[in-house]
Amino acid sequence: MIISIQTSTSQLSLTLFNDNNIINHRTIYFNKELSEIIVPKIKMFLQDNSISFNDISYLAIGCGPGSFTGIRTIISTGLGITISHNHIKSIGINSLAGLAMSVLDEAKNLKLNYIVSSIDSKTDDIFIQSFKINYIKNKSIPFVVNNDIDSIKIENLYNYFVVNKLILKDILFIGHKYNVAKKLINLNISQKLEQHPDSLGVGKLALYLIRNKITINETNFASNKFKPVYVRPAQINIK
């Protein structure tokens, strides 16, 4: 079994997978410090599904970018779980890639070539990254990273596409400020109701890598360690 975890400012997202099936998905809203509730909520989620950490083979975590506090908390929690239960293997996922994975089928149905993901930076900027979809059916990775993570103002979105040589009609946009992006530019906007990273996308990407026996560290959006994905200089240090 795989459990995947993703967090945002006020939401904790948990998903449980068995083989190719989603067993359960839960979004928990909180107004306390995430560090106070994350472990009890994960344990309760497992108990509600009549399983324990002994039944888990993989733990997949969305490692950012995002808020420094959220990244620190979720990675510290993941490290604590895998140290306490050393049979559980770690998969750290770039949250922008997890967001892209959540709309991969939608993009393919539209026959688009790129997915552009954006995440709230907690400032006036957005964290943004583009992914080129892989249509080759040979158990290869679902997409490749097209450019490094960037931090831009939404008003500069069109310039971002120009600089990265992206053609508007080939793009599916998903994520933070999608409604503003739609007003600014004639874009294909994902129809996904939840336009922020969640554990479904993180877990689906981890499951894809496991199922197709892809060496995780050979991708540039996943790791077999929980390493924080930062865009700005880190305010914390996790070893």
Q: What's the average model confidence in pLDDT over 181-198?
A: 92
Confidence at residue 68, expressed as pLDDT on a 0 to 100 scale = 84
Q: Which domains does the chain have, with CATH numbers?
A: 2-95+197-223 (3.30.420.40), 97-189 (3.30.420)
Q: What's the average model confidence in pLDDT over 215-227?
A: 93
pLDDT digits (tens, 9 = 90+) for 139-172: 789 999 999 999 999 999 999 999 999 999 999 9
Residue 188: strand pairing partners: 172
Nearby residues of 120 by Cβ (< 8 Å), 6 or more positions away: 8, 9, 66, 126, 127, 176, 196
Confidence at residue 135, expressed as pLDDT on a 0 to 100 scale = 94
Q: Is the pLDDT of residue 201 over 50?
A: yes
Confidence at residue 235, expressed as pLDDT on a 0 to 100 scale = 41
pLDDT digits (tens, 9 = 90+) for 88-141: 999 999 999 999 999 999 999 999 999 999 999 988 899 999 999 999 877 789
Backbone φ, ψ for residue 172 (5° rounding): -110, 120
The CA-atom distances, in angstroms, between 106 and each of 47, 137, 223 are: 33, 17, 25
* Mean per-residue pLDDT of the chain: 92
């009609």: which residue's tokens?
169
- Cα–Cα distance between 201 and 230 in angstroms, integer? 19
Confidence at residue 62, expressed as pLDDT on a 0 to 100 scale = 96
The CA-atom distances, in angstroms, between 122 and each of 67, 70, 93, 156 are: 7, 11, 20, 17
pTM score, whole prediction: 0.94
Token digits for 69? 């506090």
Confidence at residue 61, expressed as pLDDT on a 0 to 100 scale = 97
Q: Any long-range contacts for 30-36 (C-beta under 8 Å, 24+ apart)?
A: 34/7, 34/69, 34/70, 34/73, 34/74, 35/73, 35/76
Task: For the chain, give the percent of residues with pLDDT over 70.
Answer: 96
Backbone φ, ψ for residue 212 (5° rounding): -95, 10
pLDDT digits (tens, 9 = 90+) for 39-68: 999 999 999 999 999 999 999 999 999 888
- In this prediction, residue 9 has a pLDDT band, given cuts at 50, 70 and 90, of low
